[in-house]
């Protein structure tokens, strides 16, 4: 494990994107941007997976439970201990009370530290995995309640937030093929291990490995290397070809790094732009994800409670109802403490949302 503790460092993958949120709101319904070489990347070479199951969902809970997440009180535990002590029973009780149809769970973020075993990751940089398979346990618990697991993954090569990992995985190597191969093997290994337990991937920070999009946070010399998104999508489908894939281009952005994806990432910073159709102009299934209470996404402040929701019950209900009229699901990032406890006031707000949608 990296000797530098991840706790106490104010690192947020979206900070630089939030400054562009207002200017980019109009992009949601505007004609999408495409990468320059996508004229040769046609739909004929890729058949999008069926998103009907996702379209039937009303709303879900997203969580950024990461190596940087801190407890409500006291000092944070080492990551391995935190995973071992994660209260899955309490977490699931909150998800059920909220009435969410799915959970979008972050498995890596600023630091490439996975809450599960992973043979490939261990070979690249030992000490970044754990014995408990929290991913499998969560997937099984959700399946038992007829709910879905979507997984957020970040390659963790973002401005030297995890410098040891950047070096080990090959982000700064002159030949970037090794870097791409490592990431592809990480994802394909997980796909084969979990199969249909992971229903969808939500891939973040493509702008740190590909400068072509609306944001460019590449901090290495790419030496003209084009990241192989199409190969990466194939790896993401390993073990379950029906698995959905999306690549996040930033707040409200519809830019496509590749046509080889199935739904829109839909990162937002407010409730100003509900879905207007099931599909965007680029053909992707509409999907939204925004913070319900803490726009920093990760609870990193010691001895500080997660703040109350940003919106009234009426605002949340009206927004989700508007999206659902177009068979478009909305995801709310709910604050979570290191022991797995979800923010109580946020869960109660979603409970009220669920009751209204069922009435």
Backbone angles phi, psi at 189, to 5 degrees: -60, -45
Which pLDDT value is given to residue 276?
97
Give the C-alpha separation, 342 to 338, whole Å: 9
Which pLDDT value is given to residue 11?
42
Which pLDDT value is given to residue 37?
43
Give the C-alpha separation, 150 to 238, whole Å: 15
Which segments of the chain have a pLDDT < 70? 1-44
| Segment holding 188, helix H or strand E | helix 177-194
Judged by DSSP in three states, 165 sits in: helix
- Residue 128, C-beta contacts closer than 8 angstroms, at least 6 positions apart: 1, 111, 112, 113, 114, 118, 121, 122, 165
Give the C-alpha separation, 229 to 96, whole Å: 36
Q: Which tens digits make up the pLDDT trace of 261-310?
A: 999 999 999 999 999 999 999 999 999 999 999 999 999 999 999 999 99
Largest Cα span, the chain:
59
| Domains of the chain from N-terminus onward | 51-358 (3.20.20.80)
Residues in the chain, how many? 359
DSSP for 268-290 reads -SSSS---SSSB-TTSPBP-EEE
Q: What is the DSSP letter of 38?
A: G
Note the Cα 202 to chain centre separation in Å: 5
- Cβ count within 10 A of residue 358: 8
Note the Cα 292 to chain centre separation in Å: 15
Nearest by Cα to 171 from 212, 223, 123? 223
Whether residue 64 contacts residue 109, with contact meaning beta carbons closer than 8 Å, is answered with yes
Helical pair 177-194 and 134-144, crossing angle rounded to 10 deg: 40
Give the C-alpha separation, 343 to 86, whole Å: 15
Whether residue 70 contacts residue 302, with contact meaning beta carbons closer than 8 Å, is answered with yes
Work out the angle at residue 105's Cα, subtended by the Cα atoms of residues 99 and 110, and round it to the nearest 5 degrees: 145
């Amino acid at each position: 494990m990296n000797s530098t503790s991840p706790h106490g460092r104010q690192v947020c993958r979206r900070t630089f994107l939030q400054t562009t949120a207002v200017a980019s709101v109009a992009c949601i319904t505007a004609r999408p941007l495409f990468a320059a070489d996508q004229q040769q990347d046609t739909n004929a070479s890729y058949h999008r997976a069926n998103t009907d199951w996702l379209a039937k969902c009303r709303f879900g809970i997203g969580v950024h439970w990461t190596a940087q997440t801190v407890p409500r009180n006291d000092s944070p535990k080492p990551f391995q201990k935190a995973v071992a002590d994660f209260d899955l029973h309490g977490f699931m009780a909150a998800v059920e009370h909220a009435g969410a149809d799915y959970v979008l769970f972050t498995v890596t973020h600023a630091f490439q530290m996975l809450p599960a075993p992973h043979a490939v990751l261990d070979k690249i940089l030992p000490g970044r995995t754990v014995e408990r398979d929290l991913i499998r346990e969560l997937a099984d618990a959700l399946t038992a309640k007829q709910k879905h697991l979507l997984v957020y993954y970040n390659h963790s090569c973002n401005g030297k937030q995890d410098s040891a990992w950047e070096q080990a995985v090959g982000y700064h190597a002159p030949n970037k093929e090794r870097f791409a191969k490592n990431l592809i093997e990480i994802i394909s290994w997980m796909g084969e291990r979990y199969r249909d337990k992971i229903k969808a991937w939500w891939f973040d920070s493509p702008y740190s490995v590909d400068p072509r999009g609306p944001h460019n946070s590449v901090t290495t010399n790419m030496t003209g290397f084009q990241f192989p998104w199409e190969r990466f999508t194939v790896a993401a489908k390993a073990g379950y070809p029906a698995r959905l894939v999306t690549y996040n281009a930033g707040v409200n952005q519809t830019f496509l790094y590749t046509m080889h994806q199935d739904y829109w990432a839909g990162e937002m910073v407010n409730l100003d732009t509900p879905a207007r159709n099931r599909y965007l102009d680029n053909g992707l299934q509409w999907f939204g994800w925004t913070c319900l209470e803490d726009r920093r996404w990760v609870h990193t402040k010691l001895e500080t409670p997660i703040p109350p929701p940003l919106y009234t019950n009426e605002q949340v209900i009206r927004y989700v109802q508007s999206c659902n009229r177009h068979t478009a699901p909305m995801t709310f990032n709910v604050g979570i403490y290191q022991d797995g406890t979800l923010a109580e006031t946020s869960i109660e707000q979603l409970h009220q949302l669920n009751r209204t949608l069922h009435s």
